[in-house]
């Protein structure tokens, strides 16, 4: 299985979530003409988390490419003011607005912001830039279905490395918003009530610990080695419960893999529980966890591909062993993905999964 699909990580979408709590941020005093939210704005605020900007001042700096136009103004917003961004892409492809904010450490944190988009269908990009110009970004549609205010919570796990500096997001110095070309054209964006909050600890895991209940193919992303195939099919598990069959075919030494984004804090050595059955050739099943810095840890089950019966397997996090990527430490405070992979002597079969959950 080697490092083959480590490189796939960047192709697999991340996901999103919500909630809030206080933490440290301060105005970027080094950030010249821009920056400096009013001191009064920096106390923990009633809306949750730490208020970064209530947009009571017009102190954001705009930029654009040669063809686009952008104009900033102040209007009423969520519980106060909003920044109104009127733009016309014309033949261009982006406009942006930025302000300096120092966030010492964005690990396990999130940005909370209200936005309201109108006009053409383009993309909203939010970027965090650190002291060595590392850019971490996230992209969302600018328009919502209702056209009304939308609350975005953008957690650490939603951001990914885009360009610049080293690959690590250090001390943040600037927050950028950009509107990038989708359909092009003109429109407006309102932004209001920008806060720094705690990232949701549960990520994509249900309150009862369930990661996957067998009911749907939704949320799985697949990858495969050379001349291999993988298809997901709904089927039936123990006692008539729903289950998902990962139907595969691999040559000897190749692999297939299915991934779910967890984006969860799994501190405290909980266990991963999986209800699983293998039908077909005696290939190996591997359960893997990928952490904040792409360290991949796994637990292998040789021959599980031919088990022929349902098994309940419980694996404490501490039983996962280092395979590749990142450093050699599993940082359980952010587990980005769970992978289920098949490798081994080759052939076809089905790995049927009834449930995956966290047991504490
Ligand atoms: Ca950096
Ligand atoms: Ca690590």
pLDDT tens, position by position, 106-132: 999 999 999 999 999 999 999 999 999
pLDDT digits (tens, 9 = 90+) for 263-298: 999 999 999 999 999 999 999 999 999 999 999 999
Ligand 1 centroid from CA 107, angstroms: 13
Start and end residues for every CATH 2.60.120.430 domain found in the chain:
26-198, 204-359
43 vs 187, which has greater pLDDT?
187
- Report the pLDDT value the prediction gives residue 29, as an integer from 0 to 100: 43
This prediction's pTM: 0.78
Residue 351 near residue 248 (C-beta atoms within 8 A):
yes
- CA 335 to ligand 1 center in whole angstroms: 21
User: How far is the centre of ligand 1, averaged over its atoms, from the C-alpha of 25 (Å)?
Assistant: 17
In this structure, CATH architecture of domain 204-359: Sandwich (2.60)
Distance of CA 5 from the midpoint of ligand 2 (Å): 17
Expressed in angstroms and rounded, the spacing between residue 53 Cα and the centre of ligand 2 is 33
Distance CA(322)–CA(328), nearest Å, equals 6
The closest alpha carbon to 272, from 346, 194, 212, belongs to 212
Give the distance (Å) from ligand 2 centre to CA of residue 167.
14
Q: What is the DSSP letter of 302?
A: T
Q: Distance, CA 325 to ligand 2 centroid (Å)? A: 8
Tell how far the Cα of 332 is from the centroid of ligand 2, in angstroms. 8
- pLDDT reading at 181 higher than 80: yes
For residue 256, give the 3-state DSSP assignment: strand
Q: Could you tell me if 248 and 230 are in contact, meaning their C-beta atoms sit under 8 angstroms apart? A: yes
**Mean pLDDT on 142-150:** 93
Among residues 192, 359, 213, the alpha carbon closest in space to that of 272 is found at: 359
- In this structure, how many other beta carbons lie within 10 angstroms of the beta carbon of residue 229? 12
| pLDDT reported for residue 48 | 80
Supply the pLDDT for residue 16: 28
Which CATH class, in words, describes the domain spanning 26-198? mainly beta
Q: Which residue has the tokens 């610049």?
A: 164
**What residues are paired with 75 via a beta bridge?**
82
Q: Which ligand is nearest to the CA of 323?
A: 2
What protein residues have CB closer than 5 angstroms to ion ligand 1? 130, 132, 134, 165-166, 168, 170
* Nearest ligand to the CA atom of 330: 2
Q: Which helix (H) or strand (E) holds 84?
A: strand 80-88
Smallest-distance ligand from the CA of 331 = 2
**310 class by beta-carbon count within 10 Å (0-12 exposed, 13-18 middle, 19+ buried):** middle
- The ligand placed nearest to the CA atom of residue 163 is 1
Dist. CA 216 → ligand 2 center (Å): 30
Q: How far is the CA of 175 from the centre of ligand 1 (A)?
A: 14
Chain segment 148-176, per-residue pLDDT in tens: 999 999 999 999 999 999 999 999 999 99
* Structure-token pair, residue 75: 């209007």
- Mean pLDDT of the residues in the chain: 89
């Amino acid at each position: 299985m080697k490092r083959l699909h480590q490189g796939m990580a960047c192709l697999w979408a991340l996901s999103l979530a919500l909630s809030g709590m206080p933490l440290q941020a301060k105005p970027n005093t080094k950030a010249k003409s821009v920056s400096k939210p009013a001191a009064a704005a920096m106390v923990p605020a009633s809306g949750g988390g730490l208020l970064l900007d209530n947009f009571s001042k017009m102190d954001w700096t705009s930029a654009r490419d040669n063809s686009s136009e952008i104009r900033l103004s102040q209007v009423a917003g969520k519980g106060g003011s909003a920044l109104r961004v009127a733009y016309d892409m014309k033949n261009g492809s982006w406009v942006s607005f930025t302000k300096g904010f120092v966030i010492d450490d964005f690990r396990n944190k999130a940005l909370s912001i209200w936005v309201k988009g109108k006009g053409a269908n383009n993309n909203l990009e939010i970027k965090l830039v650190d002291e060595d110009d590392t850019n971490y970004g996230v992209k969302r549609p600018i328009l919502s279905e209702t056209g009304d205010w939308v609350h975005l919570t953008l957690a650490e796990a939603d951001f990914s490395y885009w360009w610049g500096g080293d690959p690590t997001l250090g001390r943040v110095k600037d927050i950028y918003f950009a509107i990038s070309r989708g359909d092009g054209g003109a429109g407006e964006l309102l932004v209001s009530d920008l806060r720094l909050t705690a990232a949701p600890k549960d990520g994509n895991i249900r309150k009862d610990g369930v990661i996957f209940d067998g009911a749907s193919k939704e949320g799985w992303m697949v990858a495969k080695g050379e001349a291999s195939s993988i298809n997901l099919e709904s089927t039936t598990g123990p006692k008539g419960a729903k289950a998902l069959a990962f139907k595969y075919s691999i040559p000897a030494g190749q692999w297939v893999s299915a991934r779910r984004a967890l984006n969860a804090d799994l501190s405290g050595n909980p266990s991963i529980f999986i209800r699983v059955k293998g039908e077909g050739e005696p290939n190996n099943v591997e359960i893997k966890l990928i952490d904040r810095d792409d360290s991949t840890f796994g637990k292998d089950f040789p021959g599980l591909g031919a088990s022929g019966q349902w098994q309940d397997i419980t694996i404490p996090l501490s039983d996962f062993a280092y395979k590749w990527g990142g450093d050699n430490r599993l940082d359980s405070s952010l587990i980005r993905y769970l992978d289920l992979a098949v490798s081994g002597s080759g052939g076809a079969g089905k790995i049927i999964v009834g449930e995956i959950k966290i047991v504490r």
